[in-house]
Structure 1
Amino acid sequence: MTTRSRMHILVAEDDPDDRELVREAFAQCGITDSLHFMQDGEEVTAFLAGRPPEHGNFPVPGLLLLDLNMPRKDGLEVLRELRASAEHCNLPAIVLSTSSDPRDIAAAYRAGANSFITKPSSYDALVTIVRSLTEYWLTTVALPEKAGAHGC
């Protein structure tokens, strides 16, 4: 197993408190400089389309953590656009939502989510989830070298 420690992770989360908790959980798991946050789906799609002026030189991510309920453009819309894009159709997208509604879970998978995780109620449980996510996506799975490299 090899670790892709330089995989960049994009987190779409509109709640500032949740963003800070996610940031702290990733930091506790040793991931700080490869994490980038956006506040809504519009920001995500603009960034992935190459219009990131306010985001500096953050590279194209290798993993997307996506909230479902965001202003301007929700997570389902982002997923549908990602999966329709030749450039980003293979980008692993994990929904991290407060919802546990079976309809939301089914809709997320229909829209192209790779995983659906309901946000836990405790910080320790969040750290456990982040540790599992990083182990799986940064160490265990084989991913294409570039999103869209093999078509969708």
Structure 2
Amino acid sequence: MYNVIMKRIETSVQANLRNAKVLIIEDNEDQWLLMSQAMQQCLPEVTPVRMATPQQAMRLLEVWCYQEWEIPKLILLDLYLPSSEEGWQLLKWIKAMPASINLIPIVMFSGSADPVDIEQSYRAGTAAYVVKPTQFAAWLPLFQELRSFWWETVTLPPLSLGL
């Protein structure tokens, strides 16, 4: 029985990592550098796609509505792009998109530990809220936890969800 369970877990992890892509919406070049290096170490199978502005992200997501094979498994969204108003607007816009996009889990990444931001993030439909580390060494366990949860524990929806 144990071997059957382990085989199912392995199959699920392989499915999650197949064509795995994560959209990272981050305007700060220094933060992006830390994130990309940590991702490379902890999630080498996952392709990061970075957009630096909400407008870039919106254009890309609109294209992905018609190219579902390109859809990421996860979106990491910086709240302050550079203001929180832009982050909230982008989140609202993503959640209003067709099911192929609006069902992608969104993890809000922010330097803010403000309880109001955290509560508003969950109310707006994010799957998780993470306060960004300030040192590279802290990014590594964070991305290892992301790997463990989003790629090794949960079963993500299939890429093709359009109606």
TM-score band by shorter chain is: 0.7 to 0.9
Give runs of aligned pairs for residues 88-99 of structure 1, distance below 5 A.
88-99=101-112
The answer (yes or no) to whether the contact 1:11–1:35 under 8 Å persists in 2 is yes
Gaps spanning 5+ residues in structure 1: where?
Answer: 52-57
Kindly provide the CA deviation profile for residues 97-138 of structure 1, in whole angstroms up to 9, marking residues without a partner as x. Answer: 100001111111121111000011221211101110012111
Q: Corresponding residue for 1:69?
A: 80
Contact 2:43 2:147 in 1 (8 A): no
Identity %: 28
User: Cα distance, 1:38 vs. partner?
Assistant: 0.7
Scaled by the length of structure 2, what TM-score is found?
0.79
Equivalents in 2 of 1:65, 1:101: separation in Å?
A: 18
- Asked if the contact 1:40–1:74 (Cα under 8 Å) also holds between the matched residues in 2, the reply is no
CA distance in 2, matches of 1:135, 1:124: 18
Q: 1:134 is matched with which residue?
A: 147
Offset, 1:69:
0.6
Q: Which runs of 5+ in 2 are unaligned?
A: 1-8
TM-score between the two structures when normalised by the length of structure 1: 0.85
How far apart, CA to CA, are the structure 2 residues paired with 1:108 and 1:147?
26
Q: Are 1:41 and 1:75, in contact at CA under 8 Å, matched by a contact in 2?
A: yes
Amino acid corresponding to residue 79 of structure 2 in structure 1: L
Q: Which runs of 4+ in 1 moved over 4 A?
A: none
CA distance in structure 1 between the aligned counterparts of 2:140 and 2:89, rounded to whole angstroms: 27
Q: Which has the higher helix share?
A: 2
* Greater gyration radius: 2
- The alpha carbon displacement at 1:85 in A equals 1.6
Q: Does the alignment pair 1:60 with 2:71? A: yes
Q: Which residue of 1 aligns with 2:34?
A: 21
The residue number in structure 1 matching 2:94 is 82
5 Å-filtered alignment, 1:33-44, equals 34-44=47-57
Q: Which deviates more from structure 2 when the two are superposed, residues 28-37 or residues 103-112?
A: 28-37
> Number of aligned pairs?
144
Distance in 2, matches of 1:103 and 1:40, equals 23
Structure 1 Cα separation of the partners of residues 123 and 93 of structure 2? 13
Question: What amino acid sits opposite 1:39 in the alignment?
Answer: A
Distance 1:17 1:50 in 2: 27
> Per the alignment, in what secondary structure is the counterpart of residue 91 of structure 1?
coil
